[in-house]
A and B are shown apart, each in its own frame.
Chain A
Amino acid sequence: QVQLVQSGTEVKKPGASVRVSCKASGYIFTSYGITWVRQAPGQGLEWMGWISGYNGNTKYAQKFQDRVIMTTETATTTAYMEVRRLRSDDTAVYYCARATMQGQRGFMGRLDPWGQGTLVTVSS
């Protein structure tokens, strides 16, 4: 079955970087993109960006443009998201989701399935 499995909980200090992985299985990795979404404690969902599984093209939300890098490793069907210069307000659960653009207008895509989420806590 189609599945996304993310890496485990992270605790980081302000100013550090974190890299979250998202291992995909059960589908052709290069035929879909991966979208990253985060959710701060008690808050709603926030779209961070998208990466193509085919050629690595990316789209980032403007607020993350200079601190977030999304990459893929086709050989291992794994997507990665690195957040640099972490701040306390980056504390959140980070989700990856498979993005299907077919039949969709716009680059949001339909996000299905989602990974289980990775909690990143930023604290001194």
Chain B
Amino acid sequence: QSVLTQPPSASGTPGQRVTISCSGSSSNIGSYTVNWYQQVPGTAPKLLIYSNDQRPSGVPDRFSVSKSGRGTSASLTISGLQSEDEADYYCAAWDDSLMGVFGGGTKLTVL
């Protein structure tokens, strides 16, 4: 059971917009920076979004994030969905239990 809760799966057709949620608490998302990672099956994870809303070079601006009004949840939105976006997505943050925590991961399928 992950400290950060993500839906196990999400899907969309090419061109659609898809949102993946990451729910936590004041002990993690509410207090610390949230980063997002993309993992194509069989490969190492890759940094997708950091410092809540920054994209490394090479990551298109189709990927964006937001935090809920209460600050304990975050969401990743992918606009203009493309076939190469099919991957697993993980949110991550520090936790007051003095450890890093990841969401359980969301498998995105492009139909």
Contact = CB atoms under 8 A, between A and B. Distances in A.
Interface of A: 35, 37, 44-47, 50, 59, 61-62, 95, 97, 103-108, 110-117
A112 B47 contact: yes
Interface residues of B, number: 28
Interface of B: 2, 31-33, 35, 37, 39, 44-47, 50-51, 56, 90, 92-95, 97-105
Given A45-B102, A117-B44, A104 B37 contact: no
A117 B41 CA distance: 13
Given A108-B32, A108-B92, A112-B56, A47 B101 contact: yes
A23 B22 CA distance: 33
A104 to B, nearest CB: 5
Instruction: Tell me the interface secondary structure of chain B in the complex.
Output: strand
A11 B78 CA distance: 39
Contacts of A112: 46-47, 50, 56
29 contacts: A37-B102, A44-B102, A44-B105, A45-B92, A45-B102, A45-B105, A47-B100, A47-B102, A62-B99, A95-B44, A97-B45, A104-B33, A105-B94, A106-B33, A106-B93, A106-B94, A106-B95, A107-B98, A107-B100, A108-B100, A110-B47, A111-B37, A112-B47, A112-B50, A113-B46, A113-B47, A114-B44, A114-B45, A115-B44
5 closest residue pairs by CB, A with B: A106-B94, A106-B32, A47-B100, A112-B47, A110-B50
B98 to A, nearest CB: 7
Contacts of A47: 92, 99-102
A98 to B, nearest CB: 10
Contacts of B93: 106, 108
Contact of B100 (A35, A113, A116, A117): A35
Given A111-B37, A112-B56, A106 B102 contact: no
B35 A108 contact: yes
